[in-house]
Structure 1
Amino acid sequence: MTTAVIAATGLFTPEQSISNAELVEAYNTWAERWNAAHAGQIAEGDVAALTPSSAEFIEKASGIKSRFVLDKAGILDPDRMVPRLVERSNEELSIMAEMAVKAARQAIEAWGKPVSEIGAVLCAASNMPRPYPALAVEIQQALGIEGFGFDMNVACSSATFGLKTAADFIASGSVKAVLMVNPEVCSAHLNFTDRDSHFIFGDVATAVIVESSDTAGPGGWDILGTRLKTVFSNNIRNNFGFLNRAERPSDSATPTDDVAGGATDKLFVQQGRKVFRDVVPMVSDMILDHAGELGIEPAALKRLWLHQANINMNAMIGRKVLGRDPSEDENIIILDEYANTSSAGSIIAFHLHQDGFAPGETGLICSFGAGYSAGTVFVRKR
């Protein structure tokens, strides 16, 4: 059977970033105004006063210190607390397609082959800008790629699901190379007025070229095995879709009940403690079982490129998999700089930290998130 190779990767990082201190200043100003507007109800005990956030709270809870975003001004405006992303005409390249194209071009340049050798484009991300036409097809056209393309949405696990799909296309002989992209505008579905989650996400795009081992040149990574798992849970959810419309604040809006709580289920919501309790053992057991099936000794893995959701989750999974406290070089953390970038997180970690491997050494790309969903991709340096 033809095997698949990760031949190249690419990364697009927005120019703007927001520190914890900047985010906290904006949130606390908003919360103070909301508390003042509802002082009577708070005094009567009808509603609870909003608690201030802090940079120390954010870093302790998540490990995040900053995040890259497409629009800093809108997010930090206490009268808005939403990124200002202007809708483009149908004749213009969409925002997410533009991000994906930039990451893809970097991967294609590193690959060093013509796009005519790519037979499929997969756009795997947690949110799409529209139901149709598929974002993947728009990206395909922008890059001049023949063949076919389609979108995939498995929340934070979208990239590993995309890698398995690409590897399966290669194994079946359907195509010789696949471009898999992960554009994530996570700031657009984050509630920046929720103290427990206003700090979680950032914006970014990643790209991976998966190629047949029959045509791959030297270097790259053999995909040794892929596994996927889903278990339904409401503990991470976003109810926005074409069946409903969530009101968002206008440029001149002031804090209102609608912004504070009336439409929060149309944005990212989670029960963080429940997610931690459920997902850590599920993912750890999945990794260990998959490694055993492939004949890989978990403790011998040189590096883990895990989904960048929460530093405490990553640390515990790393300990369970390796059987010891992993070093910084073994369990890669990039969420301090990038925050949670949903499907792109594990790919950013892989893209930025794949040096130092000798041929034959192995590592793991792993994602986990809403669904619940999880994916494992074991790779070996060629």
Structure 2
Amino acid sequence: MKVLVTGAAGFIGGQLWHALWKRGDEVVGIDNFSYGNLDNLKFEDHDFGPEVRRMDIRDREAIPALFEAEKFDVVYNIAGIAPLPDCQSDPVQAVEVNTLGLVHLLECARRTGVKQVVQASTNAMYENETEFPTVETSFHTPTLIYPNTKYCGERFCQSFADTYGMTVTCLRFANVYGPHIDCLRKQPPFVGYMIRELYYGRTPEFHSDGNQRRDYIYVDDLIALALRVVERPQPGFDAVNVSSNQSYSVRELYATACRLMGKDIEAKYCPTSHYWAKYPELYGGAYGIKPEILDHEVNKFSLCDNAHAREAYGWVPQVDIETGLARVIEEECKMLAARDNA
């Protein structure tokens, strides 16, 4: 099977490419490296760095030419701007990449007969829900830029599926963690940031009181479902929660990480405004971001029902939170040590 992976040099894209390669698929990986890193393409059994193609999914000439030349069977669109504050501070670019870039891929897939498009979506679309666990079929529209780019993207996915008879599957990721998680960017994912600060013996700064709870999914489990939806395709449009169906608080995860790393460092808990303190542009201009929006984003609860994934695709997550954290700690500490010694 010939497969295209966009965002191939990202945390999830690299892991997906590796899994497809091990399965024997012929994979083309592309990335514009706005967030990607060649380190995400290095595995013990293969280095995909020399093979990745530097391309942008918005390129109106190169992307159609690629589709025409390669005749892909499946397209995984993992490319996108994921950090929520980045999307909020530059909404035009967020829409261009996360929504219009997706539409461009859908149109290329339509024209060249791609059998299935799998879109990386997000459980952030459930940000305004009050009943849990959240299900795929019923939820309120989101508020912030990032989840709206994904929500609108899903509507276009459904449009292409309904209009042209295409098979388009949207995977709504919970908070993903695992080896290769990006711990060095401006606003790292919580798990990566926590481990990085503990590794260097620094006091991590968290937001609110640390009792807020989120749903986490280990990257290997996510990849397993990404493969399964292609092995058992559901014709037309489908949206699938990729979640553990369990939630954990910041304090619980931090206590586990401290125990696993042998650290005894008390975390600092900051006001919710600290979440976007590195993005002063959100507070300037005629209209600044509302404090209640900040509070809601930092303190929101997330818990997704994964019954649809179990029933339709026979998928059950395998990695518990402690096992997953131990693996991430081992790999991230190796990476940080190698970086410091370089």
| Alignment TM-score, normalising by the size of structure 1 | 0.27
Q: Which has the larger radius of gyration?
A: 1
Instruction: Considering Cα pairs closer than 8 Å and 6+ residues apart, tell me whether 1 or 2 has the greater RCO.
Output: 1
User: By percentage of residues, which structure has more strand?
Assistant: 1
User: By percentage of residues, which structure has more helix?
Assistant: 2
| Alignment TM-score, normalising by the size of structure 2 | 0.30
